[in-house]
Amino acid sequence: QPDFDKLTVYDSAVLASKYTANKIADLILQKQKEGNRAILGLATGNTPKMVYQELIRLHKYEGLSFSNVVSFNLDEYYPISVNDEQSYTYFMNNNLFNHVDITQENIHIPHTDCSSNQISEYCLDYENKIKSYGGLDLQLLGIGRNGHIGFNEPGSKFDSITRLIDLHPLTREDAIENFGDLDNVPYQAITMGINTIVQAKKILLLALGERKSEIIKKALNGTIATDVPSSILQSLPQVEYILDREAAAMIQ
Ligand code: F6R
């Protein structure tokens, strides 16, 4: 059993997701009380879907407003069109933004049509935009089966910032589920860097299901090294790991 204060294991994915949603809602409410904006770092993929469902429920039935929320998504495939159903813009609109009262101009997703020689400038702008809001108050993370966070694939430097990255073969393989065929999966993505992520004042890493159990063991109990990018989180006091029983199977 790893020695983490901030490790909670729930009996089901639903309970883990509701807990995560409540943490996010509490932050939004606290910032509202202070008259401040809540700067949220958001993730896509299967893992946060039920978190977003619960946030939508809290908005619809319990009066939670997103009017003070500014969001920055972790990553986006490159190249991709925002109208593409596989794009993370589409995902976020469909799974959260279209159903809550967030202001369109407060939404940031690292999408660009710019040519490859302008990408590094685009990425730096994204990084600076986050800083201009005073950094992320809370970053929600999933974890890839190779230990990636955002699309910081194995080998990513711990001091990396927002940039274009080549997707790992396992990441592309896992994306077949959404793209239908490996040939349709982009080879690259824009991602916040590891340094961008670890600057967040609070980090919630959510992992659900048996297929994450092996990497969770490595990420939580293994050596801190760039071959498992998420291992860096072990060293941070502001990280909370939220797991369902299946994802926690190999650390219990
Ligand atoms: C998504 C992201 C990725 C995913 C990870 C797990 O924005 O940054 O790191 O969190 O690939 O994906 P799922 O949740 O689909 O298993």
- pTM of the model as a whole: 0.97
Predicted confidence band of residue 3 (pLDDT cuts 50, 70, 90): low
Residue 159: predicted pLDDT: 98
Q: Are 137 and 38 in contact (CB under 8 A)?
A: yes
What digits encode the pLDDT tens for the residues 146-157?
999 999 999 999
User: Which ipTM score applies to this complex?
Assistant: 0.99
Residue 115: predicted pLDDT: 87
Q: Domain extents for the chain?
A: 7-251
What digits encode the pLDDT tens for the residues 4-16?
679 999 999 999 9
Active site residues: 75, 146, 148, 153
- Rounded Cα gap, residues 136 and 39, in angstroms: 5
Taking CB atoms within 8 Å and a gap of at least 24, the contacts of 127-135 are 127/161, 127/162, 127/192, 127/193, 127/196, 129/72, 130/39, 130/72, 130/192, 130/196, 133/37, 133/39, 133/70, 134/39, 135/39, 135/199, 135/200, 135/201
Is the pLDDT assigned to residue 252 strictly greater than 70?
no
Best substitution site from 74, 173, 203 to test ligand 1's pocket, by max atoms within 8 Å of Cβ?
74
Ligand 1: residues whose CB is within 6 Å? 43-47, 74-75, 142-144, 148-151
CATH top-level class of 7-251: alpha beta
Mean pLDDT of 163-188: 97
What digits encode the pLDDT tens for the residues 44-102?
999 999 999 999 999 999 999 999 999 999 999 999 999 999 999 999 999 999 999 99
Residue 4: predicted pLDDT: 64
Mean pLDDT of 136-160: 98
Residue 1: predicted pLDDT: 43
**Residues 6+ positions from 161 with CB-CB distance below 8 Å:** 123, 124, 127, 192, 193, 195, 196
> In b/e form, how buried is each residue of 181-209, taking b as 16+ CB within 10 angstroms?
eeeebbebbbbbbbbbbbbbebbbbbbbe
